[in-house]
């Protein structure tokens, strides 16, 4: 982090963020990291992730804090027409609207893209994030990361060969959906440069999960053989797996014969590179069990961390299998500005680096309703009007208990 903050590549872009939980907020945090003005609009009950803890900092759980920096926060009860009128005023001049309501919600409120927003705000890019999209056999159903991991086949690929399907430990579908949504918004804004028109863009958890199935989908399209779980091993490459050493576990990602020969020499087994069973990758994949036994025997007496550095020096991809605290305090993580800190805030940094307009931490995640008055004042409301909106509950000043189903 530098002392002088760049305005960011997206400075001047105005984003209205109606999304909650993870995919949408992650998308808008990316935009905010790169300078977009993001106004996060929460319901009176707050973003659900505010309560997804412990741990907590103030009124917010770590889950919320992790994906909501670089935003200003207000709270509107959009179930009420008066609040929707406020939203329309905020959309006047906005570039992007991001939402992940249940399909049909905006239409029911008289705010559907095709019927209303497209006509009223012709330059608006409306990004809709949903579980499965609006139509098709699963259209309209709600989606959560773990359930979609199962439905889209990711769990079937994850786990030990003889074990049960496993959820990927991080919410990879939500995060991939947020990334794809941010990319879709950038595409639509680029096209707007030519046409002068906005459009509806969509990212669904299901589509994004299916898109993550490489290389297993490609293998199936070609062979028609359903994949089997292989634990840490790669289905197409060997040795590409986790191995025990005398000290730490390491992961080898040997992608060609030159790397394999260098690896064999470094572990004191140069003869393995000349063994007909292991000469080419296709041979090593077929004979992966025998190769693993030979490698494990050699590694049993070797320090894993020291070996990893020697292999990296020789151009052999590999890495020590580290615990999360080790990663977040690692000198390279710090060097790459992958930890942001400001006062009591600490978060994972932005991975996209631009030379002239780098990302930056400009605002800590907003407290609930923190910018109610500021944002409404900028939208042209008088102090008396703001007071009335708050008194009437159109604008929420504190979190209301969620209604019980």
Dihedral sign computed on CA atoms, order 113, 114, 117, 123: positive
Q: How far is CA 228 from the centre of its chain?
A: 27
| Residues 6 or more apart whose Cβ sits within 8 Å of residue 222 | none
H-helix or E-strand containing 267?
none
Q: CA torsion 190→87→46→26, rounded to 10°?
A: 0
Cα–Cα nearest to 63, from 77, 53, 78? 53
Peptide bond into 308 cis (omega under 30): no
Give me the residue label for tokens 């907590």. 56
Both tokens assigned to 155: 């769990």
DSSP states of 208-226 = HHHTT-TTHHHHHHHH-PP
**Does 77 qualify as catalytic in the annotation?**
no
Q: How far apart are CA 345 and CA 365, in angstroms?
A: 8
> 324: burial class by Cβ within 10 Å (0-12, 13-18, 19+)?
exposed
Q: Which of 33, 47, 95, 174 is catalytic?
A: 174
Burial zone of 183 (CB within 10 Å; 0-12 exposed, 13-18 middle, 19+ buried): middle
3-class secondary structure, 94: coil
Where in the sequence numbering do the catalytic residues fall? 174
């Amino acid at each position: 982090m530098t002392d002088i903050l760049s305005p960011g590549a997206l400075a001047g872009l105005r984003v209205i963020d109606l999304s909650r939980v993870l995919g949408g907020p992650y998308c808008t945090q990316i935009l905010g990291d790169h300078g977009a003005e993001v106004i996060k609009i929460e319901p009176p009950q707050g973003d659900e992730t505010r309560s997804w803890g412990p741990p907590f900092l103030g009124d917010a759980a770590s889950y919320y804090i992790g994906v909501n920096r670089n935003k200003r926060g207000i709270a509107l009860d959009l179930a009420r027409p008066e609040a929707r009128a406020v939203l329309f005023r905020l959309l006047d001049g906005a570039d992007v609207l991001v939402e992940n309501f249940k399909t049909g919600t905006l239409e029911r409120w008289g705010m559907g893209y095709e019927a209303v927003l497209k006509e009223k705000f012709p330059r608006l890019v409306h990004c809709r994030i949903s579980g499965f999209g609006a139509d098709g056999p699963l259209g309209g159903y709600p989606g959560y990361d773990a359930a979609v991991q199962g439905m889209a086949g990711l769990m079937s690929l994850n786990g030990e060969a003889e074990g049960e399907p496993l959820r990927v430990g991080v919410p990879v579908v939500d995060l991939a959906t947020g990334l794809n949504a941010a990319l879709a918004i950038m595409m639509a804004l680029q096209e707007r440069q030519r046409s002068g028109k906005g459009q509806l863009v969509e990212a669904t958890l299901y589509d994004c999960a299916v898109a993550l199935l490489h290389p297993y989908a490609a293998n199936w399209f070609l062979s028609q053989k359903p994949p089997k779980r292989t634990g840490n091993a790669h289905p197409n490459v060997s040795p590409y797996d986790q191995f025990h050493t005398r000290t730490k576990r390491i992961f080898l990602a040997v992608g060609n014969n030159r790397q394999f020969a260098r690896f064999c020499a470094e572990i004191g087994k140069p003869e393995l590179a000349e063994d007909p069973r292991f000469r080419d990758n296709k041979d090593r994949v077929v004979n992966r069990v025998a190769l693993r036994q030979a490698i494990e025997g050699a590694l049993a007496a070797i320090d894993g961390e020291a070996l990893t550095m020697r292999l990296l020096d020789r151009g052999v991809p590999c890495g020590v299998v580290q615990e999360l605290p080790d990663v977040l305090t690692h000198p390279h993580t710090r060097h790459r500005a992958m930890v942001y800190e400001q006062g009591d805030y600490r978060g994972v940094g932005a991975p996209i680096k631009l030379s002239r307009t780098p990302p930056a931490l400009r605002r800590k995640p907003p407290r609930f309703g923190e910018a109610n008055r500021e944002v409404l004042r900028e939208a042209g409301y008088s102090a008396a009007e703001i007071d009335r909106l708050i008194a009437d509950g159109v604008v929420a000043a504190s979190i209301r208990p969620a209604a019980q189903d």
